[in-house]
Structure 1
Amino acid sequence: MDPMNPHHAKASIVVIGYDDAAHVADAVRSALAQGTAVREVIAVDDHSTDRSAALLDTLAAEEPRLTVIHRPANSGGCGSPRNDGIDAATAPYVMFLDSDDVLPPGAVDALLGAAEEHGVPVTAGLCVRRELPSGREMPWERALYARRALIPHPSRRLRLAHDTLCVNKLYRTDFLREHGIRFPEGRYPYEDFVFTARVLAAAPRIALIPDTVYVWNVRRTADRLSISLDRADIGNWRARTEANRAAYEILLSAGEKELARAVHTKFLDHELRMYTRELELRAPGYRRAWWDLTRAYLATFDATDFTVNAAAPGRLVARVLLASPAPRDLPRLRELAARPARLLPPYTRASDGTPVWSSDLPQVTLDHVLHRPAHLLPAAVDAELRPRARGTLLRLRLHELYGRVAEAGPTSVDVEFIHRDDGRVGLRGTAPLLADRHGDTWSAEAPVELPALGAGTWDLRLTVRFRDGASREVTAHARGGPGLLRRRAIPDVHHGVLGVPGVLLVQPYRTHAGALALRTASGWRGMTEVVYRRLGRLLH
Structure 2
Amino acid sequence: MVEPPHAARVSVVVIAYNDAEHVGDAIRSALAQGEAVGEVVVVDDASADATPDVLAGFADEPRVKPLVREVNSGGCGTPRNDGIAAAVHPWVLFLDSDDVLMPGAVDRLLAVAAEERADVVTGLCVRRELPEGRETVWAPTLYDVSRGATLPGTVLDGVEDHPELVRDTLSVNKLYRRDFLNGHAIRFPEGAFHYEDFVFSARVQAAAPRLAVTDVPLYVWHVRRQAANLSISLRQGSLDNWEHRVAAHRAVVEVFRKAGRPALAIPAQTKFLDYDLPMYLRELPRRPAAYRADWWTVTRDHVAGFDDAAVAAARAPHRWLHAGITALAAVPEGRELTRFAELAAGRPRLVPPYPRSEDGAPVLAAAPADVPLDGLEELSPAGLPVAVDGLATVGGSARVTLTVHELYGRVGALHPVSVQVECTERVSGAKLLAESAPLVPAGEGWTATARVPSARLLRAGRLASWSFVAVLLYADGSTGRAEIRTPDGFAGKRGVAFGRFGRVLLVQVVASPRRALTLRLTGGMAGARQVLSGRIRRILARR
Compute the TM-score of the two structures, normalised by the length of structure 1.
0.94
SS of equivalent residue, structure 1 residue 475: strand
Q: Which residue of 1 aligns with 2:468?
A: 460
What does the per-residue CA deviation read over 1:409-436, in whole Å, with 9 as the maximum and x for residues that have no partner?
A: 1111111211112221245321111223
The CA deviation at 1:57 is 2.0
Give SS of 1:210's match: coil
1:257: how far off? 1.6
Q: Secondary structure at the match of 2:317?
A: helix
Superposed displacement of residue 480, structure 1: 4.7
Task: After superposition, give the CA deviation of every residue in 1:314-348 in whole Å (9 maximum; x if it has no partner).
Answer: 22222211111222222222211112111111212
Q: 2:74 aligns with which of 73, 76, 84?
A: 76
Q: Does 1:113 align with 2:111?
A: yes
**Does the 8 Å contact 2:362/2:373 carry over to 1?**
yes
Percentage of matched positions with identical amino acids: 45
Does 1:201 find its partner at 2:209? no
8 A Cα contact 2:12 2:93, kept in partner: yes
Residue 404 of structure 1: how far off its partner (Å): 1.2
1:400-439 matches, within 5 Å, as 400-436=406-442, 438=443
User: Which deviates more, 505-514 or 127-136?
Assistant: 505-514
**Contact 1:502 / 1:524 at 8 angstroms: preserved in 2?**
no
Query: How far apart are the structure 2 equivalents of 1:398 and 1:363?
Result: 24
Counterpart AA for 1:337: A
- CA gap of 1:361–1:450, structure 2 versus 1, over 3 A, is farther
Q: Secondary structure of 1:476's partner? A: strand
Q: Which of these residues, 232, 240, 249, is aligned with residue 237 of structure 2?
A: 232
* Letter in structure 1 aligned against 2:83: G
| Alpha-carbon separation, structure 2, partners of 1:259 and 1:80 | 26
Unmatched 5+ stretches in structure 2: 146-151
Instruction: Report the counterpart of residue 260 of structure 2 in structure 1.
Output: 255
Write out per-residue CA displacement over residues 330-379 of structure 1, whole angstroms, 9 at most, x where no aligned residue: 22222111121111112122122221112323641113111211121111
User: Which residue does 2:538 correspond to in 1?
Assistant: 537
Q: CA deviation at 1:218?
A: 0.4
CA drift of 1:509 comes to 2.3
Are 1:277 and 1:337, in contact at CA under 8 Å, matched by a contact in 2?
Answer: yes
Matched, 1:192 2:190: no
Please, what TM-score do these two structures have when normalized by structure 2? 0.93
Equivalent of residue 449 in structure 1, options 450, 453, 474: 453
Q: Does 1:383 align with 2:390?
A: yes
Paired AA for residue 452 in structure 2 = V
Q: CA deviation at 1:264?
A: 0.9
User: Contact between 1:168 and 1:214, CA under 8 Å: does it hold in 2?
Assistant: yes
- State the AA in 2 paired with 1:264: Q
The whole-number CA distance in structure 1 between the counterparts of 2:499 and 2:18 is: 46
C-alpha RMSD of matched pairs (Å): 1.8
The letter for the 1-side match of 2:330 is A
Question: What displacement does 1:513 show?
Answer: 3.5
**1:357-372, aligned counterparts within 5 Å?**
357-361=364-368, 363-372=370-379
Q: Is the Cα–Cα contact under 8 Å of residues 417 and 459 in structure 1 kept in the other structure?
A: yes
Question: Could you say if the C-alpha distance between residues 177 and 44 of structure 1 is closer, same or farther in structure 2, counting changes exceeding 3 Å?
Answer: same
SS of structure 1 residue aligned to 2:164: helix
Q: Which moved more, 1:521-530 or 1:291-300?
A: 521-530
- Cα 1:514/1:482, change in 2 over 3 Å: closer
Deviation of the 1:539 alpha carbon: 2.5
8 Å contact from structure 1 (residues 335, 514) kept in 2: no
SS in 2 for 1:156: coil
Q: How does 1:84-483 map to 2 (within 5 A)?
A: 84-145=82-143, 146=145, 147-308=152-313, 310-328=314-332, 329-361=336-368, 363-387=370-394, 389=395, 391-436=397-442, 438=443, 440-454=444-458, 455-483=463-491
Q: 1:274 to 1:43 in 2, by over 3 A?
A: same
Classify 1:364/1:303 alpha carbon distance in 2 versus 1 (closer, same or farther; 3 Å): same
372-381 or 143-152: which moved more?
143-152
Q: Is the Cα contact below 8 Å between 1:503 and 1:524 reproduced in 2?
A: no
How far, CA to CA, are the matches of 1:319 and 1:512 in structure 2? 26
Q: Which residue of 2 aligns with 1:42?
A: 41
**Secondary structure of 1:215 counterpart:** strand
Structure 1 unpaired stretches of 5+:
494-498
Q: Which letter maps to 1:352?
A: D
Q: Deviations over 1:38-71 (max 9, x none)?
A: 1111111111111111211221x22111111011
- Letter paired with 1:529: Q
Which secondary structure state, in structure 2, belongs to the residue aligned with residue 228 of structure 1? helix
Contact 1:383–1:477, Cα closer than 8 Å, also in 2: yes
CA distance in structure 2 between the partners assigned to 1:291 and 1:50 by the alignment: 38
Cα deviation for residue 532 of structure 1 reads 2.7
SS of residue paired to 1:112:
helix
Q: Find the residue that maps to 2:467 and give its secondary structure.
A: strand
Rounded to whole Å, the distance in 1 between the matches of 2:202 and 2:69 is 26
The answer to whether the 8 A contact 2:5-2:114 is kept is no
SS of structure 1 residue aligned to 2:379: coil
Question: Which is further off, 97-106 or 340-349?
Answer: 340-349
Cα distance, 1:512 vs. partner?
3.6
- What SS is found at the alignment partner of 1:100? coil
Q: Provide the rounded CA distance (Å) in 2 between the counterparts of 1:193 and 1:526.
A: 43
8 Å contact from structure 2 (residues 8, 91) kept in 1: no
Distance in 1, matches of 2:227 and 2:265, equals 35
In 2, distance between residues paired with 1:173 and 1:250?
A: 20
How many Å separate the matches in 2 of 1:65 and 1:487?
A: 56
The CA distance in 2 between the partners of 1:270 and 1:371, in whole Å, is 22
Output the amino acid matched with 1:383: G
- State the shift of 1:115 in Å: 1.2
- Which residue identity lines up with residue 297 of structure 1 in the other structure? H
